[in-house]
Every structure is written in C-alpha cells, then in structure tokens.
Amino acid sequence: IKKASNKRQRGAQKSCSNVFSMFEQSQIQEFKEAFGCIDQDRDGVIKKQDLRETYGQLGKLNVKDEELDEMLNEGKGPINFTVFLTLFGEKLNGTDPEDTILAAFKLFDPNGTGFVNKEEFKRLLMNQADKFTAEEVDQAFALAPIDPAGNIDYKSLCYIITHGDEKEES
C-alpha cells in the first residue's frame, strides 16, 4: 500500500513541475510574495486558519467554514507554493481555448467563410451584451487581420488571441 501512495505523490509532483514554465520569473516572485502573505504561520502550507487570518486582515471577519473549505479543496490536498502556483496557472490559462473563441465567431459567419465584416462586427460589439466603447473596439481591431474589403480573418485573430501576435515578439 505504501508503494502505491508514493507513486501517486510522484505523479502529482510531475504534473505540477512544469507550472514554473508557464510564468515569467517576475510573476513567480509576485506569486511567492502573495503566498507569503496568505501563509500566516510561515509553515509553507496554506491552511484554513491562514485563510481566516488573511480575510481578517482585509476586514472580512465572519467568513464561513464552508467557504474556506471550498477554497482549500481546490488544491486537492495541502496547498504548498507549487500547488498555489498551479491553481493560478489553471485559472489564468483558463481563458477561452481557441476552439471556444472560433465557435463564437462562427455564429457571425453563417456561410462559414472564415471572415466577419468589420463594420457589422463593430456595430454588434458596441450595441449587444457587454457593450464595447469605440476605443475598446479600436484596441480589439488593432491586432485583427483585416482584408482590403473590410473583413476580419477571425481564424487568424483567434490564433493571435490564444497564442500571441508574432509581430509583437520580433
């Protein structure tokens, strides 16, 4: 029985070990500082009492046990720094995957051309749901590949949104 649990622990460590490659060194340092603020007793593990004391310092004194347990259960075990970083990695990289964004754009492309009209899309962004301002639309379109006819190549745009813009890096 003991061997199986050791194997399981090593597997968990392996899946977390690449989490450090998801962040820049400066970001990791900021997460370390945040972890240090939450780990009130400085034992390297965030526990319910650490969370309770952190909330107390922020002026929230009557946090329910269930709320704290729910937070701790996200770690699926003791929350050391690597687990803490992994949780943030999951949350931050949990931005919409490329296929989700593509599916959303396809709603505006009933003929499946791979393009949406810039002016029509701008009108929708500024008048529907979470209305964009003109400035926000301009920012969004600054990265968008737009052909001479005024159509947005949304497949390329989705790639830029999820992987970054090659032009920025050169």
In the CATH hierarchy, which top-level class contains the domain 23-92? mainly alpha
C-alpha distances (whole Å) from 106 to each of 28, 100, 101 are: 37, 10, 9
Model pLDDT, residue 13: 41
Model pLDDT, residue 167: 53
Model pLDDT, residue 7: 42
The yes/no answer on whether domain 98-163 falls in CATH 1.10.238.10 is yes
- Identical fold, 23-92 and 98-163: yes
Model pLDDT, residue 149: 95
- What are the extents of the domains in the chain? 23-92, 98-163
Model pLDDT, residue 14: 41
Model pLDDT, residue 96: 62
What is the distance between the alpha carbons of residues 132 and 26, in angstroms, rounded to a whole number? Answer: 32
CA 130 to the chain's CA centroid: 20
Q: What is the mean pLDDT of each run of 10 residues along the chain (170 residues)?
A: 43 54 86 93 96 90 93 92 88 69 85 91 84 88 92 90 61
Question: What H or E segment, with its residue span, contains residue 146?
Answer: none
